[in-house]
Structure formats: structure tokens, C-alpha cells
Structure 1
Amino acid sequence: MGVAETQRTILYDKHVELGAKMVPFGGFEMPVQYDSIKAEHRAVRDAVGLFDVSHMGEALIEGASALDTLQTILTNDASKLEVGKAQYSLMCNEKGGTVDDFLVYQLAPEQYMVIPNAANREKNIAWLKQHAKAGTTVSDVSDDYALLALQGPKALDVLQPLTDDDVGAIGVFRFQADVAVDGRSAIVSRSGYTGEDGFEIYCRTADAGAIWDALLAAGESARIKPCGLGARDTLRFEARLPLYGQELTETISPLEANLGFAVKVKKDADFIGKEALAAEKEQGPTRKIVGIEMLDRGIPRTNYPIFDANDNEIGHVTSGTQSPTLGKNLGLAIVKADDASLDTEIIVGVRKRKLKAKVVPTPFYPGG
């Protein structure tokens, strides 16, 4: 069996021209950084940054039974959607573990778009097709769309001059279809993955290069920076936004990951995993994702073991870094619920050393 070929987004040549360091991620060659991760992170916190996230998938769920299909697959209540509104939701397995998390957009009365993570695109779309009700069509339209994320407090200042539509009027987790951005039609969503205000722009793949260039040009006075996946990860980490494969997996439930707001066990529909999640909600999860701050010198990294004061292993680090905003060595970790209280002192196994840390509040960065 041959190795799967790594794909490139339509903007690959743009990234190379800008000096990006390209790395494999989710089956694509993606820019991890251009300048430096810290500089790009800082640009998004203070001004504005532009990301190519066209590796993300897009699937259309259409038909008279489309809502019923979503209601039996997703943990959130899709009946609360309306045209122009987006919703965060999750797909779970029968045990309540997470198959994936994504945004759901209602484009029309019987048409929805879901945005699976890149690495899970084929798995998710197969899952959607497998569980679709009669009268629902599931289509993978990922190759038809590019996705640009314009993020930061000056995002509106950059985007507005490129369109006659009042994009400032788009509310958080709302979107407007058929916005002319630099004269090219796009879906503009007030959403992102950074903890800052911003927009996600879905455009035709062929239009992505022109819109990318127009946004960078319009953002020059705001000191816009093209940003890679490295800064995207540190930004989402500070905001305690989960990364699939780390804070969410098929063995980590949404409730363990503090995502109970998106799990509606009282909705009428019997969705996959509902029974397990209802029981977990009633009894309380036995594990929880918590924030940790290192007390000893060292950075907690993914999968480093965590111990209690009596040297019993109680969990592991899911993500960790030195926070560019706060300058502290921080981590997200899944630990036994009994050890999840704020200020609980724990031990992190960092290579052959055991270093002190404590449980701290999250999100680490509450702004945006």
C-alpha cells in the first residue's frame, strides 16, 4: 500500500513566496510560520492576522430530512438554527467519545454546511453518509471552497473597505452569504479559532488567491501579518479552544472537555451517544480537561504524564506551551475529576524529571 500523497491548498505558491515554512498537517502541506510564531501570535492579539485554513473540509447536508439527520448525529440542537446562523456542535460515538467537532451553518431551509477538521474529513463525511436519513443528500464540496480566516481586533477595519456589504453588522456565530469581497462572492462568518474577533471567509477556490492578496494589501496600514498553524495553535490554546486529537478524541467526551453547552441531552431526538452522555451528565464526568501552570521550570508537552502528590498517575497533558501573551509555561490536561479543583498541586513528568505544577482557571486568555 502506497503512502497517501500530501495535498496542497490553492494558496501554496503564495505561502512559499512569503517565505513560509511548510509542514505536513492533516494530509496537506501547510504553513506553520512565516516570520515567527510569537510575532504572528502577537499580531492577532494586537491588530490582525490572515490564515489560510483551506485544509478544512466542507460538506453540504441537503433535503427534506436534513434537519432530522443532523438531530440524530449531532449533540447540539440543530433545530435552534436559522438561515444566517452558525452553531458549534459535535459528533459522538455510542460511548460518548468524540468523533469530531465542527461548525454547522444553515444556508437555506433544507440546506446546511458542516466544517469537519482536515484530518477527519473523509471519516466524518463517511459517518454522515452512513447515518443520513432517507431524503438527505450528503456531498463533499471541500475542493470547491477555500477558507481564509481574518482574525484580530482590526479584522473589521481590513475587511470592510473591500465590500459594500455591512460586514460589521454580522453578529458572532452569524454569517452572510453572497458577500462581494473584492468583487468576488463569498460566505462571511463572524467566527474563528483564536479567541479574538474576526471573520472566516469561504470563497470559490479559484477566487482565493485574489482575495488573499486583497486582504493583505488592505491590511498594510494595520500591520497585518500572514499567520501559520503555529500561531493558530498557540492562540486557540490560550483561549481554551479544543484541538481534535488532543482535547477531543474518540475516548474523550465533550463533557470531559468542558463542552457541555453543546450537548443537549434533553432535545427530543435520540442522537448517537445520547444515552452515555446523559448518564455522564447526571453523574458528573470522572475526568476533566483543566488548565495547569508550571511552578517548576519546564514546559508541559502533549502526552506528558501527570501525577498526584502521592505519585499516582492521574492523567496526561493534552496541549502545552509557553504562552506568548502571558509568558507563562501553561498546559491543558485531562485528569481525574477528584484532582481537577483550582490550585490543586500536581506533578508533571517532563522527560526524566518530575516537576511541580498547579491547576489554574481557563481560558488563560479571556479577551477577544
Structure 2
Amino acid sequence: MRWGLITAMILTLALLPLVQSTQEGNEVRIYLFWGKGCPHCAKEKLFLEEMKSKYPLRVVEYEVYYNETNREKFLEMCRKYGITPMGVPTTFIGDKYFIGFNDEIAEEIENEIKRELEELDTGKSCETKIPIIGCINPKNVSLPAFTVLIAILDGFNPCAMWVLCFLLTLLVYTRSRKKMLLVGSIFVSASAIVYFMFMAAWLNLFLILGYKDWLRIGVGILAISMGLINVKDFLFFKKGVSLTIPERAKPSLFRRMRKVVRGGELPATIAGTVILAVTANFIELLCTAGFPAIYTRILTLQKLSLLEYYLYLALYNIVYVIPLLAIVLFFVYTMGKKKLTEREGRLLKLIGGGLMLILGILLISRPEALSFG
């Protein structure tokens, strides 16, 4: 299991350059709030298309006349910049904003683009500074890479790993690698489906509620709280409040595991494993809900289609099961000679808790830093 931890750390470090990598060089991100039928908006959109041919730009557009969610984002952006919404087009670049559009404003926008590019070229531009980690420039962050990073860390959740490892430990006594592989694979696959459904529920809840400050702040507070508890568990394991599987729920899980291990006929074994996976995911919900809730809230802050939202959830869950499948294969190969130790579980909590803290702080203080390229 020590190799699993090492693999998680290597993957995390390997993916960090991807998460912070630029897309074919440094880009300036422009937020344009416009309305259908607005002639000045149409002129600015043509102007920005011209600018895109001259400079490396990424223009994020929000139509506000007919889209309530975009109007809420417009109001939120105005509050962040300390201005009163005056109409459209309104353009935000870096720490500058431009209301309306004419030749003079066009010149000012181009000058601001040049200034932003100069700062990017000299490495002075820093959207978000995080203690210890330092400067993160979210203008060029890759959402797919961010998804992979969060999902791989989530896959090493100690609660999910504990249930799987205990089940596989019982299966070791059958001395059947075939049964271990079958039951382990079914358990992981069923868990992934249940996890996807949980995340889809979070996604739809956030989409229904829309872009609300109180919701974003609430999820941020949840992330910080869960992060602090996980960090606490690294220092003082199971002292006070802990995000672990409740002791009172373990006997029920043990009984279901034993039924699966003793199962004779293949259909009964498959059915028992699926029921066990569903039950285990519900029992460990409080322990594992952190990253899915945080990720889906961040996902809904992006300007994506419904299909894209679900594709990202699918990507998340495919990556999420990779560590769990690796554990199954490891157990099958070694016949359970290595197990997850308390020290390793605490280390995983520290890594996950630290990331939750960072994401929670960003959700509350700098939500625009979580708008990915």
C-alpha cells in the first residue's frame, strides 16, 4: 500500500504542471457581458474578434438579456469590482473594467490587453497567491487536468479504500484470485456508478439553485471545515469530530461482506457485491462527500453545456476508480500481503484536507480564480 501512496504523490506532482500550464502560450482572459439586439455589443464582439487575430486572447462571453444565470454572474462580477451595473456591453480585463463601447474604449481595451501580455511575459501577473504554494495563474488552468487531479486524490480516500481493502482481505482466505478479481471489480464498478449518481445529484442541485453568493460561500465553508477536520485527523486521529465510517455502521458492513465471501452461485455473488457497494457508499457518504460537492460546485461555475457537465462527471469517475482498481489488482497479485496502515490513511487525509482548504478559500475569496481555461 505504500507504493499506492507513492503513486498518488507522483501523479499529483506530475499533474500540477498540466493544471497550471498555458494553452499555446500566455493568454489574456476577457469577460464580456453583452445582450442580444444591442448594437454596441455587436460592434465590440467584432472588435474582439479582430483583437483575437492580433493577440493571444480568450474571450468569455455572457449574454445577459435572456439568460438569468448570466445576469447573476454579471451582478457578481460588478460587486467584485465595486461598481454599479450600468448596462452592456461591460468588459472586464484583469483589474480593469470598461462600460459601453466606442472608438476611445476600443483603444483603451487594446492598451490593457498589451499591458496584461507584458505582465504575463515578465511573470508579474498573479491572479491568486496561496501561502506556501505561491502564485497560481488561473487564466490558463486546464479544466480536464484539474478534474483528473481532484479525481485521483479522491480515489485515494481512506474511507473508500478501507471498505475495499477489508473486503479483499476477507476474500484472501478463499485463496481464489479469480473470485478476488471478480468481486473487487464488481464492487469498484458499482461504487463508480453510485458515485456518479451522487455527483449528478450535486450537479443538478447547483444548476437549479444557480449562481448564488450564499451557495458558493456555503460550499466554501463546507470545504474549509472538512479540510480542517481531515488535517486534524492527521495530527489527532479519531480525536473529536472525524470524517470516518461510524463504528456503529461497521457490523452491518461486515455481515454483508461475509455474505459476499461465502456466496456460492455467481448471480448471488454479483448481486451481493452490488448491494454491498451501494450500502457502503451510503454509509461512507459523509466521509467521501467533500471532493464531489466541491468539484461539482466549481464545475457549475464554468460556462458549459449540460452534455459537457456530464462528460466531466464521467471523466471524474473514470479517474476516481483507477486507484481502487489498482488496489484490487495489487491484492490479487500479492494475496493481501500489504494493507493500508493507519499512518498511510492519516497521510492521505492530510493531502486531501490541504487541497480542500485551498479550494474552500478560493471559493469564498476568489471564485473567479476557479474559472478554467
TM-score using structure 2 length: 0.23
TM-score scaled by length of structure 1: 0.23
Structure number having the greater helix percentage: 2
More strand by share: 1
Bigger relative contact order (CA 8 A; separation at least 6) = 2
The structure whose Rg is larger is 2
